[in-house]
Amino acid sequence: MRMSSSLLPRAFERVGRERKFTVLDLGSPTPQSVRFFNQFSCRVYFAGLLDDDGEEEFGTGLDFPSDVRFDVCLFWDIFHYLDGEPLERVSHAVTERLNDECRGHAFLAFSQSVPYVGFKFGIESVDSLVVKEGPTAVPYVHTWKDLEASLWPFTNAAATLLQGNRQELLLVNHSQ
């Protein structure tokens, strides 16, 4: 299935074909995403934090070289599978490696009282995603308010409401 994205283009608007940039994708690589990123002069780190059952993988997905700084962070649905210490560990590993003008993109629940279904995402184009059903169980339904303190210095710059209790977020680094 395909999904349009109105905020993903804004996550990439400060980078482009003119200069090298670095991307963190907390999902697993998909053929579509690899083709998309091959258009650019960029380095992409796929963290692959979830296995097919929605369980967090404790491998080396967050072991980045010390000099890596991210220009774009793609969080997808990952925060609905993390809570407590794993959430703090992922947040710390990411937020300590942001470039000043880093942008993030995420999908989160709009409400904790409505069911939320997780997906796996691939990027077909800057405004079109390939979406597959993700792991069946979404153990933690988080809203932006739930995660705001954990993901500082990101702030929510824009949000779009989507079907299925989903909101698309554009996050910007405001650490300066």
pLDDT tens digit sequence for 120-140:
999 999 999 999 987 667 889
Residue 93 has pLDDT above 70, yes or no: yes
pTM (predicted TM-score): 0.92
H helices of 25-158, in order, are 31-37, 84-95, 144-147
- Label residues 73-105 b or e (16+ Cβ within 10 Å = b): bbbbbbbbbbeeeebeebbeebbebbbeebbbb
Q: What percent of the chain has pLDDT over 90?
A: 64
**Tokens matching residue 126:** 């800057």
Residue 163 has pLDDT above 60, yes or no: yes
pLDDT of residue 54: 53
Burial of 129 (0-12, 13-18, 19+ CB in 10 A): buried
Q: Are 167 and 111 in contact (CB under 8 A)?
A: no
Left if phi > 0, otherwise alpha if psi is -120 to 50, otherwise beta: which for 27? Answer: beta
Domains and CATH numbers, the chain: 2-173 (3.40.50.150)
